[in-house]
Amino acid sequence: MIVTSESLENLINEFSKLPSIGRKTARRLALHLVRQSDDDVLKLSEAVKNVKEKIKFCRICCNITEDEICKICLSSQRDKSILCVVEEPQDVYVIEKTNEFKGLYHVLHGRISPLENIGPDDIRIKELLNRINKDDKQNIKEIILALNPTTEGETTILYLSRLIKPFGMKVSRIARGIPIGTDIEFADEITLIKALEGRIYI
Amino acid sequence: MILKRINLINFRNYSSRELFFNNRFNFIYGKNGEGKTNILEAVSITTSGKSFLGSSEQDCLKFNNNNFTIETDFENELGNNFKINVAYDSSIRKKSFTLNNERVKSFSSEVFGRFPIVFFSPGSLNITYGNPSERRKFFDILIAQTNKVYLENLKELNKLTRQKNALMKGYTLQKKFSFKETDDLLKAYNEKIIDFAFEVVSRRASFLREFSGYFSKNFGDLRKTEEPAINYYSEIFGEIDTELLNIGILEKYRSSLAEQLEKIKDEEISKCICLAGPHRDDYVFRLRKDGGREGFELRNFASQGEHKTFIIALKLSEYDYLKEKTGTNPALLLDDLLSELDEDRVSTIISHLKDFGQIFLTTTDINYLEKLRNFFREDEISIYNITNGLN
Ligand SMILES: [Zn+2]
């Protein structure tokens, strides 16, 4: 095969490294950019460059920020007694959008999965334990483990809860169940079983 | 459930082939290697997600092609139509399903088990002759089709086992994880594995209790000189009569498995592989002649005839069980089966066939057609002569 433009092939290569972008999509994206105005493409490349230069991880919660400490950790409005542990920064974003949770976060940036070569050291577990350890005034009263209900998320929850429990605070996990607005008859069987297991006495 | 139509595009030796089927009997004949079995295999892919023959999708591509498509049209007892299509794309190594032209998000909850099929071929004899894995596979697929929770538990257990193996490899071979990390993580994996092992074995036990009823009846109809039994075997409690596999034993299984996992921890770590759990269990087939107490084990002591009777009874019971649980007649796929059996058994099977719903039979021998005509009307039989994917 004859490659007519090496810089285009280069861009396709870079795009196809992104998550859930296949070879075909990468080519479409690259060709789209070729047809855009110089100005638009420059804006995109600036944005890509800035992301790496400006973005840092919060020293406390490991969430993405442009400062040393993120706005959530700095806020005096937040309840410091409750800590919500999540897998990814986008989980914080989703929970924040509800405007209901007033506590603080800790972002692990992944979950344990030896199959993908991800061990406890590859995600921000050490940072979480340091944070709990340094909490000598015992501000933190409860830790919510809000990880995904996958095999990996569940094992990470189990692993974390064993490490955290000796510190003596309450440890909880989020409930699984039937989405609001869904009739029981339309819930899939596994969700239904989990909802039954997590039933609440009234 | 009736399979009305199939359309194969770039599948195996077919570049494009559409077939319309009879509600009762479909007689598919042709020489070996002409592609009779491929038609049945295609049905297994749309209904169960995998080839009954265990082939990969890549193997199913027509030579020099990158995509195959299978379209199947089903009709249930109420006259409702279901169109299940699968398309495989080798460039992304993925197959995607549609049900009534809508993308299927979860095959296991939307399609699997809804279009029950019993597949019977000479290879089915591996269930009685073969390794424990053949028996586990047979029963796992049967239970999973009618119990989604079992299917999910099995998948979860399999994933946990693979993660645990990877952890042990990461520690022992790649030195990636520390001793403390590995030890803590192993505790987490084992705790989960024990939970799911308990769920899986419990469901196998309650399935077997129910299935044994169908099985004893079907076996008795074929052969009266012996009484059959299907026992369950686990390294934890040995071989056990399923009637005795009650909640007490299962609770004990849970705690014994925990002890066992603790005991073999070092061995598992050094071998980097899970050495205890339901993935090593077995189903023990036994026959008892009157007077004998224990019964002898089929795998080691039975005659060929006894094996064949056993497997026929298993398949008939699979049919009965699926019919009862899904509330629809499964399609019966008989692949080149008659060639393996003697005259007597063939006659027995053929005389039974009229009791089933829709039947597909592949054979190299057109003479069976005459025998079938004793049991089916002319309009109840459709004949397909297959020659190298063409007709
Ligand atoms: Zn922060």
Cβ distance B188 to A162 less than 8 Å, yes or no, reads: yes
Pick the residue from chain A with its C-alpha nearest to B170: A114
Q: Are B14 and B8 in contact (CB under 8 A)?
A: yes
- Please state the length of chain B: 391
**Same structural domain for residues A168 and A120?**
yes
To the nearest whole angstrom, how far is the Cα of B89 from the nearest Cα of chain A? 13
Rounded Cα distance, A29 and A12, in Å: 8
To the nearest whole angstrom, how far is the Cα of B147 from the nearest Cα of chain A? 9
Buried b (16+ CB within 10 A) or exposed e, B53-81: beeebeebbbeeeeebbbbbbbbeeeeee
Pair of tokens at residue B141 = 């697929």
pLDDT digits (tens, 9 = 90+) for B128-174: 999 999 999 999 999 999 998 999 999 999 999 999 999 999 999 99
**Torsion angles phi and psi, residue B329, rounded to 5:** -70, 120
Tally of CB atoms within 10 A around B135: 22
Q: Which residue has the tokens 């479909």?
A: B26
Please give the average per-residue pLDDT across A138-142, as a whole number. Answer: 90
Work out whether strand B282-289 and strand A170-173 pair parallel, antiparallel, or are unpaired: unpaired
Buried b (16+ CB within 10 A) or exposed e, A175-202: eebbeeeeeeeebbebbbbbeeeeeeee
Residue B352 half-sphere exposure toward CB, CA atoms < 13 A? 15
pLDDT at B291 (0 to 100): 60
To the nearest whole angstrom, how far is the Cα of A53 from the nearest Cα of chain B? 30
pLDDT at A4 (0 to 100): 79
Q: Which helix (H) or strand (E) holds B45?
A: helix B36-48
Beta bridge partners of B33: none
Beta-carbon contacts of residue B9 (< 8 Å; ≥ 6 apart): B15, B16, B68, B69, B70, B71
Q: What share of chain B is helix, strand, coil (3-state, %, to 5)?
A: 50, 25, 25
Q: Residue A127: inside a domain, yes or no?
A: yes
Which CATH class, in words, describes the domain spanning B2-116+330-385?
alpha beta
pLDDT digits (tens, 9 = 90+) for A8-37: 999 999 999 998 888 889 999 999 999 999
- CB-defined contacts A:B, below 8 A: 63
Q: Are B148 and B199 in contact (CB under 8 A)?
A: no
Confidence of residue B389 (pLDDT cuts 50, 70, 90): low
Q: B interface mutation test: which of A116, A190, A194 has the most B CBs within 10 A?
A: A190
Q: Residue A183: inside a domain, yes or no?
A: no
Look up residue B119 and give its amino acid: F
Beta-carbon contacts of residue B46 (< 8 Å; ≥ 6 apart): B70, B72, B84, B85, B86, B97, B111, B115
Rounded Cα distance, B147 and B203, in Å: 9
Rounded Cα distance, B108 and A81, in Å: 42
Q: Residue A102: inside a domain, yes or no?
A: yes
Which CATH class, in words, describes the domain spanning B128-301?
mainly alpha
Give the rounded distance of the alpha carbon of A173 from its chain centre: 16
Pick the residue from chain A with its C-alpha nearest to B157: A151
Give the whole-number percent of chain A exceeding pLDDT 70.
100
CATH of the domain at A100: 3.40.1360.10
**Torsion angles phi and psi, residue A155, rounded to 5:** -70, -35
Pair of tokens at residue B170 = 């990461």
| Total structural domains within chain A | 2
Tally of CB atoms within 10 A around B8: 26
Residue-range definition of the domain harbouring residue A14: 6-38
pLDDT at B12 (0 to 100): 94
- pLDDT of B292 higher than 80: no
**Same structural domain for residues A97 and A26?**
no
Look up residue B224 and give its amino acid: K
**Torsion angles phi and psi, residue A60, rounded to 5:** -95, -55
- pLDDT of A164 higher than 70: yes
Give the whole-number percent of chain B exceeding pLDDT 70.
98
Confidence of residue A96 (pLDDT cuts 50, 70, 90): very high
Rounded Cα distance, B270 and B214, in Å: 44
To the nearest whole angstrom, how far is the Cα of A115 from the nearest Cα of chain B? 5
**Same structural domain for residues A147 and A91?**
yes
Average pLDDT over chain B, rounded to an integer? 92
What is the DSSP secondary structure assignment for residue B174, as one 8-state letter?
A: S
Please give the average per-residue pLDDT across B101-122, as a whole number. Answer: 91
**Same structural domain for residues A12 and A96?**
no
Cβ distance B163 to A190 less than 8 Å, yes or no, reads: no
DSSP per position, B255-322:
HHHHHHHHHTHHHHHHHTS--SSGGG-EEEEEEEETT-SS-EEHHHH--HHHHHHHHHHHHHHHHHHH
pLDDT at B391 (0 to 100): 45
Q: B interface mutation test: which of A20, A112, A129, A192 has the most B CBs within 10 A?
A: A112
Pair of tokens at residue B98 = 């549609």
**Same structural domain for residues A21 and A108?**
no
Give the rounded distance of the alpha carbon of A17 from its chain centre: 20
pLDDT at B178 (0 to 100): 93
Three-class SS state of B348: helix
Q: Residue A118: inside a domain, yes or no?
A: yes
Instruction: Flag whether the pTM goes above 0.80.
Output: yes
Nearest to B141 by CA among B47, B274, B37: B47
Ligand 1 center–CA B235 separation, angstroms = 50
pLDDT at A1 (0 to 100): 65
**Same structural domain for residues A161 and A84?**
yes
Q: Enter the ipTM.
A: 0.80
Rounded Cα distance, B106 and A178, in Å: 17
- Judge residue B240's burial from the number of C-beta atoms within 10 Å of its C-beta, 0-12 exposed, 13-18 middle, 19 or more buried: middle
Report the largest interatomic distance among the alpha carbons of chain B, rounded to a whole angstrom.
Answer: 73
Please write down the long-range contacts of B265-268, taking CB distance under 8 Å and 24 or more positions apart. B265/B186, B268/B168
Nearest to B309 by CA among B352, B361, B348, B273: B348
Please give the average per-residue pLDDT across B187-203, as a whole number. Answer: 96
Three-class SS state of B9: strand
Cβ distance B192 to A155 less than 8 Å, yes or no, reads: yes
Ligand 1 center–CA A69 separation, angstroms = 5
Q: Are A8 and A30 in contact (CB under 8 A)?
A: yes
Structural domain boundaries in chain B: 2-116+330-385, 128-301
- Higher per-residue confidence, B247 vs B86: B86
Beta-carbon contacts of residue B139 (< 8 Å; ≥ 6 apart): B204, B207, B283
**Torsion angles phi and psi, residue B351, rounded to 5:** -70, -25
Three-class SS state of A159: helix
CATH of the domain at A27: 1.10.8.420
Neighbours of ion ligand 1 (CB under 5 A): A 58, 60-61, 63, 70, 73
Q: Residue A153: inside a domain, yes or no?
A: yes
Beta bridge partners of B95: B88
Q: Are B116 and B298 in contact (CB under 8 A)?
A: no
